[in-house]
Amino acid sequence: MEALLTGFSKWLAATSLSHIIQSVTWIIPTLQTIHILCVAIAFSSAVMVDLRIFRLFERDEPLSDVARRFLPPIWPVLVILLITGSLLIIGEPRRSLLNTTFYLKMALLIVAILLTATLQRTALASPGLFDDRSRRLSGQLLATLSILVWCGILFAGRWIAYTQAG
């Protein structure tokens, strides 16, 4: 598998798009800035809902209203993250494709997307579900997992720079 990824990385680095991304000095910093801002939007939106589940934010507002306000922006932001992340990979394929930390980040992202979609669907379908005492703990466990996964994405994304492939 490593040989396949190495060959693909070399091919990708030789493409004209990769050369443009590598040679125009402002492209990578701009893509990274957009990517980081979008991660901040996704993270903060998800955490706002998680904090509401813990009753640390907007206690008097129903969870469904908080979810309706904060979770929808995540989905278009994920599209922007996909585009900017793909362009960053094309520009520097070895940095990501040969780095196990990158795959950790992607796995955590899949978990975060599933958790966020589940929380959004649950909050909208059953607005008071986590408000009753017997189910509050399950909601708080989901919220804790969500926060940990989103933090893991942040750490792994930053860690990629320090675990680069040879």
How many angstroms separate the Cα of 138 from the Cα of each of 17, 24, 132?
Answer: 47, 49, 11
Q: In angstroms, rounded to a whole number, what is the distance separating the alpha carbons of residues 56 and 44? A: 14
Report domain extents, the chain.
2-162
Q: Which of 91, 95, 145 is nearest to 116 (CA)?
A: 145
Whether the Cβ atoms of residue 114 and residue 142 lie closer than 8 Å to each other: no
pLDDT tens digits along 113-150: 999 888 888 877 776 777 777 778 888 888 999 999 99
How many angstroms separate the Cα of 145 from the Cα of each of 17, 116, 126, 152?
Answer: 38, 10, 20, 10
How many angstroms separate the Cα of 39 from the Cα of each of 26, 102, 105, 106, 165?
Answer: 20, 15, 12, 13, 24
Please report the pLDDT score of residue 130 as a whole number.
73
pLDDT tens digits along 88-115: 999 999 989 999 999 999 999 999 999 9
pTM, rounded to two decimals:
0.86
